[in-house]
């Protein structure tokens, strides 16, 4: 399952959700307003930036559709 770490106020998070939906990709959205999700983002990426998309063993920081497409193709 693809995981997408977001926040309600993040424009790029909304864009990533729309992008994944446009690709008909199922994903689990995890909001970083929950402290454990915020810590998980940091442990995965070493950053506090969002969105963070986890596809398999790939961790993609930001709205990087090329990286998402590449990771999806490898799945």
Tens of pLDDT along 12-23?
999 999 999 999
Order of strands, sheet of 27-31, starting from the edge strand that comes earlier in the sequence: 27-31, 2-6, 52-55, 58-61
**If pLDDT is split at 50, 70 and 90, which confidence band does 11 have?**
very high
CB 50 within 8 A of CB 11: no
pLDDT of residue 37: 96
Cα angle 14-3-22, degrees, rounded to a multiple of 5 = 50
Please name each of the domains of the chain with its CATH number. Answer: 2-74 (3.40.30.10)
Report the share of the chain in percent with pLDDT over 90: 93
pTM: 0.93
């Amino acid at each position: 399952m693809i995981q997408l770490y977001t926040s309600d106020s993040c424009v790029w998070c909304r864009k990533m959700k729309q992008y994944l939906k446009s690709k008909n990709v199922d994903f689990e959205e995890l909001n970083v307003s929950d402290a454990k999700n915020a810590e998980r983002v940091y442990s995965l990426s070493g950053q506090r930036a969002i969105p963070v998309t986890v596809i398999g063993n790939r961790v993609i920081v930001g709205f990087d559709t090329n990286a998402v497409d590449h990771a999806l193709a490898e799945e």
